[in-house]
Structure 1
Amino acid sequence: MTGKAAEVPKETESWASNDAVRASMQANRSRDTGPELALRRAVHARGLRYRVSARPLKELRRTADLLFTRAKVAVFLDGCFWHGCPEHHTVAVRNGTYWASKVERNRTRDADTNQRLAEAGWTVVRVWEHEDPIEAAARVEAALIEARRIHGQL
């Protein structure tokens, strides 16, 4: 063995425009975000109990933010930037082509998720991060009541 330090392989080119942007994006949490916690509190305050960050279909690698397994209701809280909110989505200044493609892939995946869950008998509720959590919780409860009626649980 020589006294030379082992060379570290050069990383592939980053999607981030600089190290600060990369650090900021990597710090984004996939769960327990402010909007998600607010929605969970509002849904819980209505007396509804749910699973957090769970897969509705085990064979499908998609995770719902709130899951009502018996009633087959999956709730997804979508970020305005990441999922292309028609009201609040902003176009990235740097690497615009990359981010536009990323958001489009997210939208395509969301539509695929909705379709697959519907085909499996699930009700999907999509909530934008900018929505009022109290109003969103009312939508979730209404979907849950309807799903329970459909599945003969009322």
Structure 2
Amino acid sequence: MWKKAAREVTKKERTESNDVGKLRSRIMRAVGSKATSCERTVRDYLRPLGVRMRYNVASLPGKPDIVIPSLRFAIFVHGCFWHGHGCRRGARIPKTNAAYWTAKIARNRARDRRNAAALRRAGWSVVSIWECDSGRVRERKLKALRE
């Protein structure tokens, strides 16, 4: 997801830019939050099961990426960097403004926990799928839907 955004910043801009902060800001701003490739992969897995899905439901805590109302099932597809996953990509903190990023990711993780707890209290099942999950891991997590 971030690689595509980084490619959009031209090589000329990278070499001419004296302000690393502005360049990083432009790259981060270009990263999308809806219909990411990981979300589309999960949707493609669910579609043949014949379940009705809704996307980015704002009326639920945390605005889950994919919701299956009939099963009361909420799926969050998390980007490893933004949500502080323990993998190589998620554990990396940018060198510039490290204190800001550390605090931001900690806030994101706390918010994720609060939202998942609120959904569970309301009777929803919650699954988090990480950007780095291989196809097998995603499939194993999604098999819970069939049961």
Amino acid at match of 1:130: C
Relative to structure 2, which stretch is displaced further, 48-57 or 81-90? 48-57
For 1:22, what is the secondary structure of its paired residue? helix
Matched, 1:43 2:38: no
Q: What is the number of equivalent residue pairs in this alignment?
A: 127
Aligned CA-pair RMSD: 2.0
Please give the residue correspondences for 1:109-148 in structure 2 after superposition, counting only pairs within 5 Å. 109-133=111-135, 135-142=137-144, 144-146=145-147
* Matched residue type, 2:31: N
Please identify runs of 4+ aligned residues in structure 1 that moved more than 6 A: none
The 1:37/1:43 distance shift into structure 2, 3 A limit, reads same
What secondary structure sits across from 1:18 in the alignment?
Answer: helix
Bigger-Rg structure (1/2): 1
Q: Percent identity?
A: 31
For residues 117 and 107 of structure 1, the distance between their equivalents in structure 2, rounded to whole angstroms, comes to 16
Q: In 1, Cα distance between the equivalents of 2:29 and 2:81?
A: 15
Equivalent position SS for 1:64: coil
Q: Which moved more, 1:133-142 or 1:77-86?
A: 133-142
Query: Taking CA–CA contacts closer than 8 Å with sequence separation of 6 or more, which of the two structures ends up with the larger relative contact order?
Result: 1
Q: CA–CA distance in 1 between the matches of 2:146 and 2:43? A: 17
| Aligned partners of 1:127 and 1:136 also within 8 Å | yes
Query: Could you tell me which of 32, 35, 47 is aligned with 1:32?
Result: 35
Name the residue aligned to 1:106. 108
After superposing the two structures, state which structure 1 stretch, 43-52 or 19-28, moved more: 43-52
Unaligned runs of 5+ in 1: 1-15, 147-154
Aligned partner of residue 102 in structure 1, secondary structure:
helix
Q: Kindly state the Cα deviation for residue 141 of structure 1 after the two structures are TM-superposed.
A: 3.6
Q: Which runs of 5+ in 2 are unaligned?
A: 1-18
**Which stretch shifts more, 90-99 or 131-140?**
131-140
Please name the residue that 1:82 is paired with.
Answer: 82
TM-score (norm 2): 0.77
1:20 matched to 2:1: no
